[in-house]
């Protein structure tokens, strides 16, 4: 789990660096908002925010898939247990009655 977290952080760093370099050097991308051009550092920061949101969405999707698989497995185990219990309940009941009737009763010594 910790290895995956480190890997995700490294991927986020590489994406941030390469996307910022790509935006400023190759594509000559300038971000403007309300007729105000941002400087290249601010553009890289905005792209870093976009990449961080994309990585967070990736984490949410990955953990939701993991949670869905875990939920299905737990539900399947509980269902198999209940199905087994419903099939064998007469045998379990008879065994319990026999055990209660045949066991050695301890008498209280005063």
Q: What is the pLDDT of residues 73-85, one digit of tens each?
A: 999 999 999 888 8
Is 13 contained in some domain? yes
Owning domain of residue 48: 2-102
- What is the C-alpha separation between 4 and 59, in angstroms, rounded? 10
**Structural domains in the chain (count):** 1
Per-residue pLDDT of the chain (110 residues; tens, 9 = 90+): 567 777 777 777 777 677 666 666 666 666 667 777 767 667 677 777 777 787 778 777 777 888 888 889 999 999 999 888 888 888 989 999 999 889 877 777 77
Is 55 contained in some domain? yes
Is 110 contained in some domain? no
Measured CA to CA in angstroms, residue 93 lies from 69, 78, 96 at distances of 35, 20, 5
């Amino acid at each position: 789990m910790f290895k995956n977290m480190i890997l995700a952080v490294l991927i986020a760093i590489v994406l941030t660096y390469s996307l910022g370099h790509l935006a400023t050097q190759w594509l000559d991308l300038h971000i403007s908002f309300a007729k105000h051009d941002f400087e290249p550092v601010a553009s890289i920061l905005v792209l870093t925010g976009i990449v961080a949101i994309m990585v967070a969405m990736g984490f949410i999707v990955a953990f939701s898939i993991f949670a869905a698989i875990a939920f299905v497995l737990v539900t399947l185990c509980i269902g198999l247990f209940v199905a087994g219990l419903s099939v064998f309940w007469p045998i379990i009941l008879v065994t319990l009655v026999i055990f209660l009737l045949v066991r050695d009763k301890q008498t209280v010594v005063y």
